[in-house]
Amino acid sequence: MAERVDASPVDNTVVGVLCMDIASTLRSICDSDITCYISASYVKYLEAAGALVMPICRQEMT
């Protein structure tokens, strides 16, 4: 008898989401190294569709 093979796909779609820059005045108030922001609702929406989300900050693009 032949073995049964699982035909479910293993590959996940990776979606890059551009982050918004945080204003320098807000950065100085927070005293943090955080320079960009993305809303969790955007990430959760894409993850609910089965995607893996990769945040992309504009500073990483230069």
Domain positions in the chain are 14-61
* Region at 50 (left for phi over 0; alpha for psi -120 to 50; beta for the rest): left
Nearest to 49 by CA among 13, 19, 17, 23: 13
For the cut 70, the answer to whether the pLDDT of residue 5 exceeds it is no
Which comes out higher in pLDDT, residue 33 or 44?
A: 44
Give the whole-angstrom CA distance, residue 36 versus residue 40.
13
- How would residue 27 be classed by pLDDT, with cut points 50, 70 and 90? confident
pTM for the predicted model, two decimal places: 0.61
- The pLDDT value recorded for residue 4 is 63
Give the whole-angstrom CA distance, residue 55 versus residue 58.
10
What average pLDDT score do residues 37-61 get? 86
